Amino acid sequence: MKLRSIVSVGVMALAAAAFADYTDGKVCGWMRVDSDLAVTVVGVPWVDVGNPATNVKVADLVKTDNLTAGDKLYVYDNGTWLFYQLSSGGEWVAGTTANSSVTPVEAGTPETARLARGQALYLERQNPTEGGVAKPFYVYGAEGTALTTKTLSGAAGTKFLVASPKAEAFQVTTSKISGATAKSRSASGDQIIVPLTGGASRTYTLASGKWGYVSGGVRVKEGDAGYLPIALGTGFWYIKSGAADVTITW
């Protein structure tokens, strides 16, 4: 699906201006995300505008329109949360993370730190609604080279925060995910955890050859009527319980 078709009508004029600057045939624009969550997992669907060979900058991905000074981005990087805060001047400022290591970790400057397609991050907003209605935010970038798969490598227990780079819902099925460890009496199995409204979550596990989740006390599995995908643009946690690589096909 071309990015043009998902650009909000309300910003078509700006999107058109962005297109006018482009001469290499790449599509760019920005996508409206309607969410009333104070903390939203944001997917990274695109690459850097003007330099499609590189990943999008932290400074560019989430536009500051509709955001409030003090709003924050959290990027999970191999066990450490990197952190950016929106200044009163409307710019993302890199923060410092104090964790169990002796040396604090500095987030890369927003103009140089990059986010890969298929990655996900948290956006924390102080004002996610206005008048009781969800305030949208905007994700920005350029269409990049097709990213069809993502490999998750790491020991059992490794966690990944990911999101489909495609502008469509992600179907959690065995045809889309290979190498996963199934749940059994002796193994907890891989988990996919999706954040939902109100602090709830949906957890998918692999059992008896099918992915599924429990809803209302009943296991709903792939192929069942009403089996829910992961919504467009929504990030999720993938937790490995085995050491073998897991491959997600978007």
Task: Name the site residues for another protein (rule: CB under 8 A).
Answer: 37-39, 41, 72, 74, 76, 79-81, 83-85, 93-100, 102, 104, 122, 124, 126, 159, 161, 193, 195, 198-199, 201, 237, 239
Return the DSSP state at 23. -
How many other CB atoms sit within 10 Å of the CB of residue 97?
15
Q: Give least dist CB 221 to another protein, A.
A: 22
CA distance 217 to 213: 10
Residues 230, 234: Cα–Cα separation, whole Å: 7
DSSP letters for 49-65: TT-TTSBEEHHHHB--T
Contact indicator for 122, 103 with CB cutoff of 8 Å = no
Nearer to another protein, 61 or 94 (CB): 94
| Min separation Cβ 135 and another protein, Å | 14
Q: CB count, 10 Å around CB of 115?
A: 24
Q: Which is nearer to another protein, 161 or 180 (CB)?
A: 161
Q: Smallest gap, in angstroms, from Cβ of residue 81 to another protein?
A: 5
- Compare residues 196 and 214 and give the one whose CB is closer to another protein: 196
Identify which of 207, 78, 43 has the alpha carbon closest to the alpha carbon of residue 155.
78
Nearer to another protein, 30 or 92 (CB): 92
Quote the CA–CA distance of 72 and 110 in Å, as a whole number: 12
Distances, alpha carbon 206 to alpha carbons 141, 211, 230, in Å: 34, 4, 16
Pick 10 or 79: Cβ nearer another protein:
79
CB of 147 to another protein, least distance (A): 23
Closest distance between another protein and the C-beta of residue 102, in Å? 4
Q: Minimum distance from CB of 104 to another protein (Å)?
A: 5
Other CB atoms closer than 10 Å to residue 188's CB: what's the count?
14
Using the minimum distance from each CB to another protein, give the nearer residue, 201 or 249: 201
